Amino acid sequence: MGEIISGKELSKQIREEVRLQVEELKCKYKAVPHLAVVLVGEDPASQSYVKAKERACIKAGMKSTAIIKPLTITEEALLNIVKDLNDDTTVHGILVQLPLPKHIDENKVIDAIDITKDVDGFHPLNVAYMHLGRDAILPATPKGIMTMIHSKNIELKGKDAIIIGRSNIVGKPIAMLLMKEHATVQIAHSRTVNLKEKCLRSDIIVAAVGRPNTVTSDMVKDGAVIIDVGVNRVDGKLCGDCDFENIKDKASYITPVPGGVGPMTITSLLQNTLECFERLMK
Ligand code: GUN
């Protein structure tokens, strides 16, 4: 039986550490770490993510402001909101929830965020720093995955990793972070051939495609580490991209869904907000 890496438990521990640090820094700087979250429209998934982020911030002793705008907001108006948040010295983290409506150029909005407040790590300069292996604000989900791997002291050096999914938010950055720690990384995607054979040769599988049962037990080598980033709903039940039940006995470590990578994403966001706060206050 593989060991389950509980993002829920690890998050609880780290969020308590963050809360204590926040308490200390509030006294030191006489200021409160403040995350501003911008939400456009009424997409239920985005609404629930934003609510969860707000709740976590408040629980950690930080301030959270949600700026909620209708789907009809113009690009110019949204850019002005970002500009105001950049200029507001009481705001230390800015997050614009994606996706944005089609009439708004997402890149323009991300580019407008002050990189010192870019808690998502989505600004192209932050992305570049990360790719160069320089000091950077790391995107929350890949950062959370690395925290989970480190929490179990899983050796990465010389290991073969396969990432399934090439998104800017998860696939590409996690590949960089694993490579930085000396894993040999392969990125698979929808056009990849012989996925099963490639997975069977891998010591680490990161599944981030958003399709249930993308990874089944016949694709997993004995003792592999399985990181499941998928969030899917099947018959009203939350599940990941991996067939957890049938893989768990083969894997050495596996992350569950729910209670795995998901909670770690918000935990990393709290860490990033705290990091931005400290740097801005210094
Ligand atoms: N939409 C889905 N995931 C994310 C995220 O991590 N950050 C933002 N801003 N939007 C998202």
What three-state secondary structure class fits 62? coil
- How many CA atoms within 13 Å lie on the side-chain side of 253? 20
Q: Which atom of ligand 1 is nearest to the CA of 140?
A: 6
Ligand 1 atom nearest residue 269's Cα = 6
Residue 105 is a catalytic residue:
no
CATH topology for 30-115 is Rossmann fold (3.40.50)
Residue 161 contacts residue 202 (beta carbons within 8 Å): yes
Find the helix packing angle between 261-281 and 44-59, rounded to 10°.
60
Pick from 103, 106, 19: which is nearest to 61 by CA?
19
Strand partners, 211: none
pLDDT tens for 167-191 read: 999 999 999 999 999 999 999 999 9
Say which residue the tokens 């869904």 belong to. 257
Nearest to 31 by CA among 237, 216, 274, 268: 274
Q: Give residue 1's pLDDT.
A: 77
pTM above 0.95, yes or no: yes
**Which residue, among 222, 230, 229, 212, has the nearest Cα to 248 in the 3D structure?**
222
User: Which parts of 30-92 fold into alpha helices (H)?
Assistant: 44-59, 75-87
Q: What is the pLDDT of residues 12-55, one digit of tens each?
A: 999 999 999 999 999 999 999 999 999 999 999 999 999 999 99
Ligand 1 geometric centre to CA of 17 (Å): 24
Spans of the chain, pLDDT less than 70:
none
| 53 catalytic residue (yes or no) | yes
Residues 3 and 152 sit within 8 Å (Cβ to Cβ): yes
What is the second-level CATH architecture of the domain 140-262? Answer: 3-Layer(aba) Sandwich (3.40)
How many angstroms separate the first and last alpha carbons of the chain?
47
The pLDDT of residue 136 is: 96
Ligand 1 atom 11: residue of nearest CA: 98
Indicate where the chain has its CATH 3.40.50.720 domain(s): 140-262
Would you give the DSSP letter of residue 41?
S
User: Does 114 participate in catalysis according to the annotation?
Assistant: no
Ligand 1 centre distance from Cα of residue 101 (Å): 14
Q: Where in the chain is the domain with CATH 3.40.50.10860?
A: 30-115
Residue that the structure tokens 């870019």 belong to: 118
Q: How far does the centroid of ligand 1 lie from the alpha carbon of residue 188, in Å? A: 22
